[in-house]
């Protein structure tokens, strides 16, 4: 623990060790080292992760509040929680390699059991959220707000279920078309010979007697009812124009007009996508359109948001984005998603984004 706190520096480790020995006395325990170094206790991290797993945001906030009242540095809480999620990832990926975790055997066993209640996608998404919180700690003085926002975001993140688990559940029934009754072939029917109908003697036919018939004069012909003419079909063009909003005023640089329209309407576009595809729309809110050239729309994402990049780069997500762009402005671009450094991404947040290559 002292080696991890010193980040591999020998002099820092020796200095920390001298401080711990001078304060602890003859005996030295793991809890005392955690307290002296200002780290978060393992049982606190386990309780906080359990509150996140059960989506109990209130309990997660209370745990952070108690740590704050006990004098814990909120930056340490974020970093230790990030290290805890890293250990959960290792325990879930390599349960037979406890030496990769670097904790005592009983602690490693506890982490392995806790990792079974979380999917790998949840763990990786949690690591992305904590990476972003750690980055924000460097540029803000309100570490408590950053820590609380991170744990609430962790507790509110959508649960991901692996497709193998869904297919293995017995309570999920795939809806299929109702079976139609197959026609019964003539060969499958048992032919029955109907019984002959009894013969009945018909009575003798009598000749009809003559009857006087009164012939009425023909009535004047009625006027034929003419069907009312059908109304002329409405021109469908206005309806199409209503769906294709906003209208793009093209000039000498049509590609520039497209990207400027998308930048101006990006918030509206992400909400439109989230109406039918909640996860894609939520992930797009952290991306920005940067260029449109030769039919290709380039979207940029910070390199720290690897979860966003993986999900938006799939063929299905890019197809959804292209279709929604067509609904918005009437074109179907080829969508390209790229990770860029944070400094470059911050420049894309500015109104002018024409310098993207």
In the chain (357 residues long), the average pLDDT of successive 10-residue segments reads 70 78 71 70 90 93 91 89 93 88 86 91 93 90 91 85 53 51 48 52 54 52 53 48 48 73 87 88 87 88 86 91 90 90 75 43
CATH 1.20.210.10 fits 243-348, yes or no: no
For residue 240, the model assigns a pLDDT of 43
Would you state the pLDDT for residue 122? 92
The pLDDT, as a whole number, for residue 29 is 72
Phi, psi of 7 (to 5 degrees): 55, 35
Tell me if 279 sits within 8 A of 319, measured CB to CB: no
Please state, in angstroms and rounded to a whole number, the distance separating the CA atoms of residues 227 and 234: 20
In the chain, CATH 1.20.272.10 covers 38-164
**pLDDT, position 71:** 83
Q: How far is CA 205 from CA 127, 199, 201, 208, in A?
A: 103, 17, 12, 9
Q: What is the pTM of this model?
A: 0.44
Q: How far is Cα 120 from Cα 189, in angstroms, rounded to an integer?
A: 59
Q: What is the pLDDT of residue 38?
A: 66
Three-state secondary structure call for residue 299 = strand
Copy the structure tokens of residue 323: 């279709």
| pLDDT value at residue 237 | 46
Q: Distance (Å, rounded) from C-alpha 132 to C-alpha 307? A: 12
Q: Which fold has domain 38-164?
A: Zinc Finger, Delta Prime; domain 3 (1.20.272)
Q: Which pLDDT value is given to residue 124?
A: 94
**Where in the chain are all domains bearing CATH 3.30.300.180?**
243-348
What angle (nearest 5°) sits at the alpha carbon of residue 246, between those of residues 240 and 249? 100
At residue 140, the pLDDT reads: 84
């Amino acid at each position: 623990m002292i080696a991890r706190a010193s980040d591999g520096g020998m002099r820092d480790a020796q200095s920390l060790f001298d401080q711990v020995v001078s304060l602890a006395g003859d005996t030295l325990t793991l809890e005392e080292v955690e307290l002296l170094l200002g780290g978060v206790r393992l049982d606190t991290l386990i309780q906080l992760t359990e509150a996140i797993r059960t989506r109990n945001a209130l309990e997660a906030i209370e745990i952070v509040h108690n740590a704050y009242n006990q004098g814990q540095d909120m930056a340490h809480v974020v970093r230790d929680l990030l290290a805890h999620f890293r250990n959960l990832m290792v325990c879930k990926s390599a349960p037979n390699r406890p030496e990769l975790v670097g904790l005592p055997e009983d602690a490693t066993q506890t982490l392995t059991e806790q990792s079974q209640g979380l999917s790998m996608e949840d763990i990786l998404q949690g690591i992305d959220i904590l990476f972003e919180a750690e980055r924000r700690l460097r540029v803000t003085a309100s570490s408590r707000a950053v820590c609380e926002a991170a744990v609430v975001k962790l507790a509110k993140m959508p649960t991901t279920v692996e497709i193998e688990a869904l297919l293995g559940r017995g309570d999920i029934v795939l809806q299929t078309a109702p079976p139609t009754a197959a026609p019964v072939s003539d060969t499958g029917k048992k032919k029955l010979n109907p019984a002959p109908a009894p013969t009945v003697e018909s009575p003798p036919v009598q000749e009809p007697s003559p009857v006087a018939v009164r012939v009425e004069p023909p009535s004047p012909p009625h006027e034929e009812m003419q069907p009312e003419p059908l109304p002329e079909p409405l021109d469908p063009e206005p309806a199409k124009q209503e769906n294709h909003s906003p209208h793009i005023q093209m000039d000498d640089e049509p590609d520039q007009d497209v990207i400027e329209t998308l930048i101006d309407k990006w918030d509206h576009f992400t909400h439109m996508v989230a109406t039918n595809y909640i996860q894609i729309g939520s992930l797009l809110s952290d991306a920005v359109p940067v260029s449109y050239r030769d039919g290709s729309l380039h979207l940029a994402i910070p390199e720290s948001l690897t979860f966003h990049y993986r999900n938006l780069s799939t063929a299905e997500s890019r197809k959804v984005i292209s279709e929604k762009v067509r609904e918005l402005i009437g074109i179907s671009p080829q969508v390209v998603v790229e990770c860029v450094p944070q400094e470059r991404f911050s420049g894309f947040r500015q109104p002018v984004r024409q310098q993207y290559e």
